[in-house]
Structure 1
């Protein structure tokens, strides 16, 4: 039995690619939305588990389901779940495999400012005008909201149209006029119109890789001469079993399970 930490596009693609191989698979996702997408695939060898599993929860799942491998396809910024997965795999003596989406290759432009964390990005962003346009998800809104309030700046956050995302925005004090709830990457032209409509002074985004339309957002901002604060990936040692090519990861899984 394999345990797939999904919740990303790659996680769903991995599940789809492994379908029909005869391998049994359990996949985890944080949200009902993610679970529904996985369940929609309809495979008798597949089980979906909702929730954020800590090391203890993962260890219990490994024992109960006789897991032989953990496949970590979580987001590059989801450090805690990856740490828990590696710890649980090590303690339970199972193999840990990491699929790491390739980092984004940025265009050369003086308008792009690289930062190493959300607090640093927030402190940089307030120096670029009145409206800070965020495309960073909802888990790290607080540094931007608190820093913007002190500097009398305005926050606009583009988030997924999920109740959990809207709740996080409300809990961080954002008003409806500050929330853009939109699914999908969107075209460059759509992003340009959003930046113009909300009069964005600076775009803050993070290195989620080529998936998610980050480069399209950056290109839209640059064409409008809007500065970009780019949050680089945190450093985490995933060990030796890290794959950047999905085909090689799938080949490794299949060859060692059959």
Structure 2
């Protein structure tokens, strides 16, 4: 049996390892080299690195019995493309969901990064952006001296910051998730008054950010997670065992 797992999250890596240990031939597709580095080595796991078009996903799905979409909860475009590829190939599709966080009562929630940026235009104080390099352009109208983006330590991450002329001293290039203590240190070091984040759940370190804001007196701005239907690890594993 062959399974294709579109990964990029902790759940995806863990799920791939469980499948491989069951004797399933697993093809794991990750968008970046960092995703490949995080994937455990296993003789039953093959890793494909790079963002895929629908046609490329269709090729990866050839001969597969099941496809598991374990991409990030906010990667809606990737999920749409994976669904299209599964419809084209007739491969069974399953969406692996990450549990949502309980948002702190004093957090400010927005539907998009653009809405959060518009809100911040009428405020003062430094802003820590932890929403990823792809969302940076939404904040281009803010004073760049206020912006402190925390991005992955990749060329793409740095280039996205440079495209907005963000000072290099403001760029925090690190790979998370981050502990409560490290979040606190960053907020204090850069005198952060606002932290913008997505709800990455427990494995994404969301509560560590929220608690650091509470400790340091910074305000937490959260981009609302897209609504979607999906399944737990246990339910998808049960289906995989049926197919074995």
Q: One fold, TM greater than 0.5? A: yes
- Is 1:246 paired with 2:240? no
- Is 1:17 paired with 2:18? yes
Normalization by structure 1: what TM-score?
0.88
Once residues 130 and 215 of structure 1 are traced to their aligned partners in structure 2, the CA distance between those partners, rounded to angstroms, is 22
Deviations 1:98-140 (A, max 9, x none): 001011111222xx11000010011112333131111111111
Once residues 205 and 66 of structure 2 are traced to their aligned partners in structure 1, the CA distance between those partners, rounded to angstroms, is 31
Once residues 68 and 78 of structure 2 are traced to their aligned partners in structure 1, the CA distance between those partners, rounded to angstroms, is 12
Count residues with an aligned counterpart.
Answer: 243
Q: Is the 8 A contact 2:32 2:51 kept in 1?
A: no
The equivalent position to 1:86 in structure 2, one of 57, 66, 83, is: 83
Deviations 1:60-96 (A, max 9, x none): 2223xx1121100000111111001111111221111
Deviates more, 1:28-37 or 1:160-169: 160-169
1:198 is matched with 190
Once residues 165 and 55 of structure 1 are traced to their aligned partners in structure 2, the CA distance between those partners, rounded to angstroms, is 24
Q: Is the 8 A contact 1:73 1:100 kept in 2?
A: yes
1:130 is matched with 125
Q: Runs of 5+ in structure 2 lacking a partner? A: none
Once residues 161 and 62 of structure 1 are traced to their aligned partners in structure 2, the CA distance between those partners, rounded to angstroms, is 30
1:225 is matched with 217
- 1:137-148 aligned within 5 A: 137-144=132-139, 146-148=140-142
Q: How far did residue 186 of structure 1 move?
A: 2.7
Once residues 66 and 179 of structure 2 are traced to their aligned partners in structure 1, the CA distance between those partners, rounded to angstroms, is 38
CA 1:234–1:153 in structure 2 vs 1: closer, same or farther (change >3 Å)? Answer: farther
Q: How far did residue 153 of structure 1 move?
A: 5.6
Q: Is the 8 A contact 2:20 2:26 kept in 1?
A: no
Q: How far did residue 159 of structure 1 move?
A: 1.7
Q: How far did residue 34 of structure 1 move?
A: 1.4
The equivalent position to 1:177 in structure 2, one of 153, 166, 169, is: 169
Deviations 1:36-70 (A, max 9, x none): 332x4131x2211111112111122223xx11211
Deviations 1:197-252 (A, max 9, x none): 1111211111122222111111111222211111011234x5xxx21x32222122
1:31 is matched with 32
RMSD: 1.7
Q: Is the 8 A contact 1:125 1:229 kept in 2?
A: no
**Secondary structure, counterpart of 2:197 in structure 1:** strand
**Secondary structure, counterpart of 2:196 in structure 1:** strand
Q: How far did residue 194 of structure 1 move?
A: 1.1
Moved over 3 A (4+): none
**Secondary structure, counterpart of 1:47 in structure 2:** strand
Once residues 46 and 253 of structure 1 are traced to their aligned partners in structure 2, the CA distance between those partners, rounded to angstroms, is 16
The equivalent position to 1:67 in structure 2, one of 64, 71, 74, is: 64
